[in-house]
Structure 1
Amino acid sequence: MAIKRSSKRYQVQHIALLGILTTLCYISRLLFQFLPNVQPVTVILLLITLTLGTRDGLIVAILSILISNINLGLGVWTIAQIASFTVIILLTGSLTILVPRIPFVGMILYAGLTGYIYGFVISAVQAPFFGIQNFWAYYLAGLPFDTMHALGNSGFYFILAPILVPIMNKFLKKYYR
């Protein structure tokens, strides 16, 4: 769905919504930091991309990673996290163009798949920075964490999609239709 952004009033409310969603990603990342790779951030970004579009998904992803990493620690992994979320958001944006209506169960499975995509891109970006000679051994060693991420994504999608999608759709109806 193309969002018509003509009025400055609507732009301010749109920026406010993106700020709230960025804060949601930041807070949820802090709340779940005790569980390795189980955080609702990926799912929130998927829902933003599906509902508001690729551009908004990228804005919230970059801001939430930068802001949360200021608190949790900046490093090479920040670049890898931004790269991973960028790949996932671009894939999701492309998927919505190719397949406009994806069933709920299909999206739960796709959310799980994004946990593995995230882990692969993280490994591909970080391995050269850390001087890792055998990428596949490095990647395979991280598969248990990717599996936790995938299972967490599927569970969070099941819980969050029925809550967040209607809220974002209500915003779209109120300000852009």
Structure 2
Amino acid sequence: MNVYRLTLIAMLTALSVIGRVIFGNVPSILPSTGIIILSGFWLGPLSGILIGIMTAALSNILLGMGIWTLWQSLSWAVIGFGAGIVGRVWNSAPVWALMVYGVCSGMLYGLIMAVTYRAAGQAFWPYYLAGLPFDFNHMVSNVVVIGLLYPVFTRLFRRYEQNMRLVS
């Protein structure tokens, strides 16, 4: 991993954190997840994991740190890793495929958070079912963010790939 790539990861993390902080007061509208998905898809599993973990840690410094930060980090790391695997297997996926992955990621995020609530000794099903409307908001925000940013990120990451060939 070179300095150029680390700088790109840092900038994408900052964009993800800013998106989360801006929408922090809107329930489960998390543009961070869409950014993590697109970043992992284009940069690979390791970058997806890094951006996911750093997004949770840095945004929670501003929004409030707690035990949930660990589970948010895990959720976004898994989502970023999965997007990286999708990117490796399906190099130029159509936008609809990433939108479907975004819907699945919204449900996965909610499921991981509900499982951790159960691990704390609380009832799983009431918590999970009560969270479904929030998971739906998360899924919709993922689809919107991916739909809006996919063309922009595609152009930027293709330029990044060209620059990396010139540098190597």
5+ long unaligned stretches in structure 1: 6-10
Mapped partners of 1:101, 1:171: distance in 2? 15
Q: Which residue of 2 aligns with 1:31?
A: 22
Moved over 2 A (4+): 89-103
1:102 deviates by: 3.1
Residue 134 of structure 2 corresponds to residue 160 of structure 1 = no
Q: Which residue of 1 aligns with 2:36?
A: 45
Q: Which residue of 2 aligns with 1:173?
A: 162
Change (3 A) 1:52 1:150: same
Structure 2 letter corresponding to 1:145: F
8 Å Cα contact 1:40/1:153 also seen in 2: yes
1:83 deviates by: 1.2
Q: Which residue of 2 aligns with 1:141?
A: 130
Residue 109 of structure 2 corresponds to residue 118 of structure 1 = yes
Mapped partners of 1:56, 1:97: distance in 2? 12
1:126 deviates by: 3.0
Residue 71 of structure 2 corresponds to residue 85 of structure 1 = no
Change (3 A) 1:69 1:158: same
1:101 deviates by: 4.5
Mapped partners of 2:144, 2:74: distance in 1? 23
8 Å Cα contact 2:39/2:80 also seen in 1: no
8 Å Cα contact 1:112/1:152 also seen in 2: no
Structure 1 letter corresponding to 2:42: T
1:22 deviates by: 1.0
Mapped partners of 2:132, 2:69: distance in 1? 20
Mapped partners of 1:14, 1:90: distance in 2? 17
Mapped partners of 1:146, 1:45: distance in 2? 17
2:49 to 49, 58, 65: 58
1:170 deviates by: 0.9
1:20 to 11, 14, 24: 11
Residue 133 of structure 2 corresponds to residue 109 of structure 1 = no
TM-score (structure 2 length as normaliser)? 0.90
SS at match of 2:77: helix
5+ long unaligned stretches in structure 2: none
What's the CA shift string for 1:139-171, capped at 9, x where partnerless?
111000000000111111110111122112211
Q: Which residue of 2 aligns with 1:8?
A: none
Bigger relative contact order (CA 8 A; separation at least 6):
1
